[in-house]
């Protein structure tokens, strides 16, 4: 039997931010906490079953998987540079983009064959505001990261904490919202990331995860030459949540 559960600057965090934006920063934390509460009774049930049932080949394969869910801070660096498109109405203008700060959520699935051999799939979602200094234009967007990476879990334990490091690439889709997206189209950017953190096992099936990710990409322009400054930026993502070991 499967062994389950083993082991926006107006900042959205500022008291002066609109209530709707402050609400958006609380939703990911409530989402993560809710999942943890739902998992608790299943955790006890499957832990008891795992101790009384011999492992099958499928169990041993599934034992290499982990599902992690975390609330993540989203702190993106400002960019500033000249508009280079000669056809743009603001050609040569020094365009600055200031993304707001918000909270999102991160879901990842890991497969660990050996301590130094592992893969992970990441899905990170956050909703925030892109503030351009031209016009000015303000774009509320939902950014969704889809990446795959290589992950290692060094076979060392420090004060009960299990470290890990990962890195990889993929894409981030920037989708302007219907209400605040200025009617702009979606835009995707190539994305690279690095990640380091620790796992704190509660038991063989469940544990807590603290990590820090850095995500790199070209600032989005939503296909508009007057919003293009061709500057690279990065998002710092401190995250905390839990993981479930199958």
Bridge pairing between strands 206-218 and 232-245: antiparallel
pLDDT of residue 14: 45
pLDDT at 78: 97
What average pLDDT does this structure show over 87-116?
96
Band of residue 115 on the pLDDT scale cut at 50, 70, 90? very high
- Residue 36: is its pLDDT beyond 90? no
Give the pLDDT band (50/70/90) at residue 6. Answer: very low
Do 70 and 36 form a contact (C-beta atoms < 8 A)?
Answer: no
Q: Which CATH number fits domain 19-245: 3.50.40.10, 1.10.599.10, 2.40.160.20, 3.30.465.10?
A: 2.40.160.20
Q: List, for residues 141-171, the tens digit of each pLDDT value.
A: 999 999 999 999 999 999 999 999 999 999 9
Q: What is the pLDDT of residue 133?
A: 96
- Residues whose CB falls within 8 Å of the CB of residue 21, separated by 6 or more in sequence, listed in order: 8, 10, 12, 100, 102, 129
Res 20: pLDDT: 47
For the question of whether the overall pTM of this predicted structure is more than 0.75, the answer is yes
Low-confidence winner among 27-36, 83-92, 237-246 (lowest mean pLDDT): 27-36
pLDDT at 44: 53
* Whole-number pLDDT of residue 72: 97
Domain ranges of the chain: 19-245
Q: How far apart are CA 140 and CA 156, in angstroms?
A: 43
Residues 87-121 as b or e (16 or more Cβ within 10 Å = b):
ebeeeeeebbbbbbbbbbbbbbebebeeeeebebe
pLDDT of residue 27: 61
Q: What's the average model confidence in pLDDT over 204-216? A: 96
pLDDT at residue 35, rounded to an integer: 56
């Amino acid at each position: 039997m499967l062994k389950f559960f083993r082991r926006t600057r107006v900042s959205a965090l500022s008291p002066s931010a609109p209530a709707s934006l402050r609400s958006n920063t609380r939703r990911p934390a409530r989402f993560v906490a809710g999942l943890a509460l739902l998992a608790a009774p299943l955790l006890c049930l499957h832990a008891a079953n795992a101790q009384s049932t011999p492992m099958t080949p499928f169990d041993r394969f599934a034992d290499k998987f982990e599902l992690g869910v975390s609330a993540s801070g989203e702190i993106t660096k400002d960019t500033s540079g000249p508009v280079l498109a000669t056809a743009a109405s603001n050609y040569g203008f020094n365009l600055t983009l200031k993304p707001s700060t918000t909270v999102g959520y991160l879901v990842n699935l890991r497969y660990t064959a050996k301590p130094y051999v592992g893969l992970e799939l990441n899905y990170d979602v956050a909703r925030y505001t892109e503030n351009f200094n031209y016009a000015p234009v303000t774009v509320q967007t939902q950014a969704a990261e889809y990446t795959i990476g290589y992950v290692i879990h060094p076979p060392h334990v420090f004060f009960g904490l299990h470290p890990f490091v990962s890195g990889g690439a993929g894409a981030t889709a920037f989708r302007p919202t219907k209400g605040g997206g200025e009617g702009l189209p979606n835009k995707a950017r190539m994305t690279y990331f690095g990640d380091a953190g620790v796992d704190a096992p509660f038991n063989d099936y469940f544990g807590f995860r603290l990590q820090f990710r850095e995500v790199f990409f070209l600032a989005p322009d939503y296909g508009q030459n007057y919003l293009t400054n061709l500057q690279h930026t990065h998002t710092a993502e401190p995250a905390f949540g839990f993981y479930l070991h199958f």
